[in-house]
Amino acid sequence: MMRLAYPFFLLLLIVLPILLYWYFRRQRSKATIRFSNIDLLKKIKPGISHQLRHSLFLLRLIAVALIIVALARPQSGRTEEEVTTEGIDIVLILDTSSSMLAEDFRPKNRIQAAKDVATEFIKGRRNDRIGMVVFSAKSYTQCPLTLDYGILINFMKDIEVGMIEDGTAIGLAIANAVNRLKDSEAKSKVAILLTDGRNNAGEIDPITAAKVAEAYGIKFYTVGVGTQGEALYPVDDPFLGKRYVRMPVDIDEDMLRQVANITHGQYFRATDNESLEKIFKEIDSLEKTKIEVKQYTRYSELFTHWLWAALAVILLEMILANTRFRKIP
């Protein structure tokens, strides 16, 4: 980036054409010597000194132009940015119980729909540490808090129903997430819990776990996953093979709403793919990372280069005036 600190000095450049006009007008008005016949003089070819007779004046004009530019103080600048971020620590909690195989999120089942939407959520975050907890009858950490979203997404792909003993230990999952976030120094600590059932396993009650989370300043967004009424569940029949049965959707919404309220979060209900995507977009907008950008420019002075150039031109003019173009009285 280049700029002139005092650009109004460039107005002085108008003096140059005035000086040029004055010089050539003065040259034409010089005294002459009369000859009766100049045919012989015409045969004499002018030397190099004659052809360059105006060089000294042109060098002087160049020196004046360089000095004027130097007075305008040319500067070179380098723009720099100082970025300050306040990252958010987020833990995704996914239910992997057998009921997550219900296919009311067609063409996908609940677990696949949850994985796909969570993956897009991860891809859209910046500067946030994200971890992942999975649970059925027990709960464990699938991935600790990390900024390596590629690794996190690979762990997401490995999640399957049946990887843990069947059941729904929501309280234990909440406690596991709290354990991951309690020592975090992030400005905001958030957990997103997706489940389609009721707490029926584990040693910890969800409400008790939520109170512990609130004590550590951890906010929970709870999502009930499942359509209204009944849903189709796949069943492996030893005689008929894979078939589907209708079973009632049983989500403990009161408990999930309580967990969200206790931790100052929100409860959402996802009944299909579209609503699940909207929920994650809303959570994404609610938990925005604060980024402050301070931009400033450092300038370095360049006028000395122009002054040195002007001095060099003046010295060249003086040397030529006293050697090659020296005038003899």
All domains of the chain in start order, with CATH = 2-31+41-79+296-321 (no CATH), 88-288 (3.40.50.410)
Mean pLDDT, range 97-120, rounded to an integer: 93
Q: What is the mean pLDDT of residues 161-168?
A: 93
Confidence at 244, pLDDT banded by 50, 70, 90 = confident
| Ranges 76-85, 108-117, 161-170, 245-254: which has the least confidence | 76-85
pLDDT band at residue 31 under the 50/70/90 scheme? low
Q: What local confidence, expressed as pLDDT, does residue 238 receive? A: 72
Q: How does pLDDT run across 259-284, given as a tens digit for each residue?
A: 999 999 999 999 999 999 999 999 98
pLDDT of res. 153 = 95
Helix 253-262 with 206-215: angle, nearest 10 deg: 20
Task: Tell me the average pLDDT across 92-114.
Answer: 93
pLDDT of residue 46: 55
Residue 39 pLDDT level (bands cut at 50, 70, 90): low
pLDDT at 24 over 90: no
Contact 61, 19 (CB under 8 A): yes
% residues pLDDT > 90 (the chain) = 53
What rounded mean pLDDT belongs to the chain? 86
> 249, 229 in Cβ contact below 8 A?
yes
C-alpha separations of 133 from 112, 118, 243, 305 in Å = 16, 12, 31, 64
What's the pLDDT tens digit per position in 211-231? 999 999 999 999 999 999 999
| Section 77-87 average pLDDT | 67
pLDDT digits (tens, 9 = 90+) for 137-151: 999 999 999 999 999
Mean pLDDT on 246-269:
95
Residue 5 is predicted with a pLDDT of: 87
Min mean pLDDT across 13-22, 26-35, 159-168, 261-270 is at: 26-35
